Each structure stands twice: as structure tokens, then as C-alpha cells.
Amino acid sequence: MIRAILAGPMLTLALGALAACQMDAPPQLPPAGKAMSVHQDDSCIASGGVWSNEYGKRNKVCIHYTTDARKMCTRSSQCQGACLARSHSCSPIRPLLGCQDILTDSGLRMTQCVN
């Protein structure tokens, strides 16, 4: 009799715990292959960029032209891209690939290499 009385609440607890363990829908996977290429193209263009292989690589790079190119600067935080250390001017594009001497956000000179 005691078992029958406890069985009801125990069963309810067990079912409640199982219900809480239900899995949500699986996460959306990122696009791959050709779908990824189309997604990247759309994202680049939507953000104001253009695709380029100016850097001599087989892979294209999404380049953004900056509106403050050649503006004088003393730190990168004054530019949309980077502050070029040699000319103390804002870069004409971002990202800058390869190794470039830039001025950091705090105005320190450093060599930044981006592949």
C-alpha cells in the first residue's frame, strides 16, 4: 500500500525529469562548399566590400576601401583601417595583408603581419 502511494509521485517526478531532458532542435550548421562561397560573397558585398586577389594569392580576399585614406594619424584608432607608421596616414584598404609597419591604438610602432 505504501509503495502504491509513493509510486504516483515518484512516477510524476521521473516523467518531469525526462521531459526536462528533451533535446532542442539541432543548431543550424554554417554553409559549406558552394553555399559557403555564395554566403561569403553576399556578406562581403553587404558590408561594403569587394572581392580581390590583388595580393597574388589564389584565394580571394574581401577588401574594404576606407573613406579616410591618406588622412594624417598618430594611432590606428583614428582610422577605419590602420595608421601606417612610415607615412603617418590612414591605410586605403582593410585588411592590410602581408607585413606592414603600423601605429597601434596607443600610438606605438609595430610590425603587423597578416596572411
3-state secondary structure 21-84: CCCCCCCCCCCCHHHHHHHHHHHHHHCCCEEECCCCCCCCEEEEECCCCCCECCCHHHCCCCEE
pLDDT of 1: 47
Contact 77, 102 (CB under 8 A): no
What's the confidence (pLDDT) of residue 43?
A: 85
The predicted-structure confidence for 64-98, as pLDDT tens digits, reads as follows: 999 999 999 999 999 999 999 999 999 999 999 88
What Cα–Cα distance (Å) separates residue 88 from each residue in 59, 70, 74? Answer: 30, 8, 6
Distance CA 77, CA 109 (A): 13
Q: pLDDT tens for residues 1-59?
A: 445 554 556 656 565 655 555 567 777 766 555 555 656 778 888 889 988 876 566 67
Q: Is the pTM of this model over 0.75?
A: no
Query: Which set of grid coordinates corresponds to residue 26?
Result: 539541432
